[in-house]
Each structure stands twice: as structure tokens, then as C-alpha cells.
Amino acid sequence: MGDAGLLGEVGPMGSGTVPDNPAQRRVEEILDEVTRSGAELGVQVAAWLDGEPVVDAWAGLADRASGRPMGPDTLVPAWSTGKGVAAALVAVLVDRGALAYGDPVARYWPEFGAAGKDRITVGHVLSHTAGLPQLPPDVTPEQLLDLPATAAWLAAQEPLWEPGSAVGYHAWTYGVLLAEILRRATGRGCDDLLREELAGPLGVADDLLFHVPDRLLPRLATCEDGGWAARLERMPAGAPFFVCVPHGVLPVAGLANRPDFRRTPLPANGVMTARATARLYAELAHGGGPAGPRLLSAPTLREATTARGRGADRMMGVPWTTGLGFLIGDDSSPPVRPAGGFGHSGSGGSTAFADPAHRFSFALLKNRMTTSGLDARLAHEIRTALGLTDS
């Protein structure tokens, strides 16, 4: 039985200006179902095919306490879905010669070369093979969000394994390390780079973010827990997962709603709209264009989406394949990304990906952190309605 009684009035169903089609209608039906039942609070879904939007829908609430409805312009904390956005940003900068995947991190950040890390490359960091997923076990949110101090701490650490030899999810350190690498390489912050080099040219500068400026806070959704926190806490106390995500900084609703977390530009995470995210991946599904202004060359995108790390992840304990900041394909059951697709998912069920074989992109964002499998369900329903296959 759902908790619709707790939800109260759901927000209005919405759809954008996409032509009427079976995929749009099916998504609207599912969003009505999951928000009215209380399984979800607020949801946005967007998809593109062949350079055109084919799904644009939203439903439910952005904030339960105020009753503010979810809308197409609501900014939703999407957690590690932002890692894929960061990967796209790095690819653009690589394409322009600002840095290179094969360069040692110490080329830009000399202190990082300490403790046997002189051979760790930018590509190792992006592919989660650098051997630096760890944070202090007693780290607090305040300490994590002091990015210069956290970066300095990581610069002094020894890698936990030979760089490049294994995959281990750099849940938080991916963002800390990238923010510092980008600052050192370009002299600019990752938030400014995202706005000026990626989101701005796509026309989504206020919709694809690593942090939320004060002027955009009225558009921000509030997160709530829907069983996600309990899932994390049920993990064995000695699980490797807690090496990369110590208990004090678990990705749960309470952390997402903290003012200091919202305003810290940490590219391990993202705050975005489904429209903007699907728009980005539509470009990537076309090899960097031509759904709009060409973001980057096809060779650079191929390099970014070629498998670099394979096998059981040392932190997560599950098999997956990593590219240079993107997850490639999907070994989960049921899968979210199709074979040959690339993108990233985030805690609580948000996700986005590109399917270059069909020039298709998909984004699902939601503010109730659950383990419902809505991501795989919606991706499958849309692809089925559009007649797409994985062949």
C-alpha cells in the first residue's frame, strides 16, 4: 500500500512542447501513478531522439512542507549523476587543449606527486582507477566541504592500489580531485568552467550546476528519504563502501538539504533539470553534435567513452565498466543504460545517459531517495514505445 495519505495534494502533471507520442503518454501515466501512490515525491523525465525532444514530463512536489509543485525548471539534487556532467566538461577542456587525459596530475598540481602518486594521470582519476577513494573514517560534512583542505589531505596520501590496476569508486574524491585539477590547470573554478564552457553554450547555464547560487535557491527541490538511508546503513560495518563514503558523509537527504552542501561546487555531484541533462546527453549521443552547437570532436568523445576500468569494483563490490568519467553499459538487472550506452546514475535513483547507437538520450531526476527501480522502468518503457532495441 502506498503512503498517498502522507503525500497530500500532488503537484500538477506537466508536459512540455513535444509532439504527442506513445512514449510521452506512457511516461505521464507512470509519473501520475508513482506520485499519487506516494512512492515518489516529485519527478522529472526528459528524452531526445535524433536531435529532437520526444519526452518532457514532470509530476508531484518539489517540496512537501510548502506544497510547491515540481515543474520543468525545478532544480533537483541529482548526486552522482553530476559525475557524468563533470566528465563531459573535462572532455570539452581536453578537446581545447587545456589539459590531457594522459597527463600526470602532478603536472598541474605538483604537491600531488607525493607518496608514490607521481604516475597517477587525469585519466586514472576520471576512471576511478587512481587508488585514492579514501577519506578519513571520521570525516564530517564540514571537513569534506572544505575543498582546499580535503584536496591537501588527498595529496599527502598513498594510493590504496597500483594506479590503473583496479577499479574502486571514488565517490567523493572524484569531485575533490577534479575540482583541484581543473583549478590548477585553468586558473578557474569548476562552477565557472561548467557555466562558460558547457552549460552556457547549450543554453542551460542556470539548469546544469555543481552548486546552487543564492539567486536560484527558490527553484531548488527539497530531498526526502524513501528508504535509501536504511539501505546504506544495512551494509556491514566493515564494508569497503565506507572507505570511500564514511558514515558522516553518507549521500542522504539530510546532507542534500544542508545550505553549505548546496553552495559548495563539488563535481562529484550535480544539481540540474531533466530537460538540461537530456539536452547535454543528446549532444553526446550525436558524437558531440549536431543536435546543437558542437561541444567537442568525435575522437575526444570516443576516448572519453572507451572502457578504461573493468571488473568488480573494490569499493562497491559490483561489476561495472568505467570510461573517463562515464559508466559504460550496465551490468545491473534490470539495466538502466543499454549496451553501448554511457552516462551516470546518482544516489536515490536519478540517472542520465546517451545511447549513440540510436542517437537517444534519457534523464530522470527525482527528490525522494528510493530504491524503487524507477530509472530502469522508465528507460525501458520509453525505448519500447519508441521502437528502440539494444541490437
**How do residues 213-241 score in pLDDT, each as one tens digit?**
999 999 999 999 999 999 998 999 899 99
Helix axes 173-186, 147-155, angle to 10 degrees: 100
Confidence label for 372 from pLDDT (cuts 50, 70 and 90): confident
- Residue tagged active-site, from 80, 345, 361, 372: 80
Task: Give the model confidence (pLDDT) of 319-363 as tens digits.
Answer: 999 999 999 999 888 899 999 999 999 999 999 999 999 999 999
Q: Locate cell 526528459: which residue?
A: 46
CA dihedral sign of residues 83, 86, 92, 97: negative
The CATH architecture one would assign to domain 68-87+195-357 is: 3-Layer(aba) Sandwich (3.40)
Model pTM? Answer: 0.95
Is 70 exceeded by the pLDDT of residue 10? Answer: no
Q: How high is the mean pLDDT of the chain?
A: 94
Quote the cell numbers at residue 39.
Answer: 512512492
β-strand partners of 48: 53, 361
Domain ranges of the chain: 68-87+195-357
Quote the cell numbers at residue 132.
Answer: 585514492
Dist CA 31 CA 311 (whole Å)? 35
Confidence label for 7 from pLDDT (cuts 50, 70 and 90): very low
Task: Give the model confidence (pLDDT) of 250-280 as tens digits.
Answer: 999 999 999 999 999 999 999 999 999 999 9
Amino acid code (one letter) for 353:
F
Quote the cell numbers at residue 362.
Answer: 534519457
Is 50 exceeded by the pLDDT of residue 80? Answer: yes
Q: Locate cell 587525469: which residue?
A: 122
Is 80 a known active-site residue? yes
